[in-house]
Amino acid sequence: MPQTKPPVLIVLHQEHSTPGRVGLWLRAHGHPLDIRRPRFGDKLPETLAGHAGTIIFGGPMSANDDEDYIRAETDWVGVPLAEGAPFLGLCLGAQMLARNLGASVGPDPQGRVEIGYYPIRPTEAGLKLMTWPDQVHHFHREGFALPAGATLLAEGEVFPNQAFSYGDQVYAFQFHIELTMAMVGRWTGRIGERAQLPNAQGTAAHLAGRALHDWKTAAFLDRFLAHWLATDRRPGAGTAEAAE
């Protein structure tokens, strides 16, 4: 009987959210998706022994919110950390990881946001890891402080901490790598009054940024996800059968 790859746990925060091209990439590379939405009552697993890793995606809420599911998700991040399972946090997911590790999450002191395409600069540690895109898509009002023991991988202008690693298997990106063109259309259609926030970009700038820079993000996604899944050093990693 041929071995099959274990699923990746996908944590989403809105009823109709999708993992976008991250999910498409994972499926194309043989990993089923275990999609859960704790905000709507889905429980998170007590162990990741049956999963190749976890990705927590973004959402309009704050990692500082006092909602039960926000606190529970943030606490749950300790499961992959304790087990050495691959973990990736995107935007809100990155902020939850930072909070779990004891770092703060908060707005820019000048009230600026990042909504649109903005430059990032890889650090020396980031360059040793792989090639990074120079402009990436953001949609957030808050950023994270760098947790103790974490390695800064990429910096930004308004929010200086854009990506970090914690050990070999755990990563956090403040920006979005998952957006399909359909997702860009939905997101830009909801910008509304947020386009008037300091430093925000309007719909035209979003679409121009997509046309100019998205190919670099797509190439980065392919490199990064292959690297990320390969960091799994748990006994029996790589097959669903080994986890049963």
pLDDT tens sequence across 98-136: 999 999 999 999 999 999 999 999 999 999 999 999 999
219 to 55, 81, 177, 225: CA distances (angstroms): 19, 27, 10, 10
Q: How confident is the model at residue 244 (pLDDT cuts 50, 70, 90)?
A: very low
Are the C-beta atoms of residues 41 and 14 closer than 8 Å to each other?
Answer: no
Task: Give residue 221's identity as a one-letter amino acid code.
Answer: L
Query: Where along the chain do its domains lie?
Result: 8-238
Kindly report the backbone phi and psi dihedral angles of residue 162, in degrees, each rounded to the nearest multiple of 5, phi listed first. -105, -25
Query: Which CATH number, 3.40.220.10, 3.40.50.300, 3.30.360.10, 3.40.50.880, labels domain 8-238?
Result: 3.40.50.880
Of the chain, the percentage scoring pLDDT greater than 70 comes to 96
For 179-189, what is the mean pLDDT? 86
Residue 123 tokens, joined: 């650090």
**pLDDT over 90 for what percent of the chain?**
86
Average pLDDT, the chain: 94
Q: How far is it, in rounded angstroms, from Cα 122 to Cα 153?
A: 6
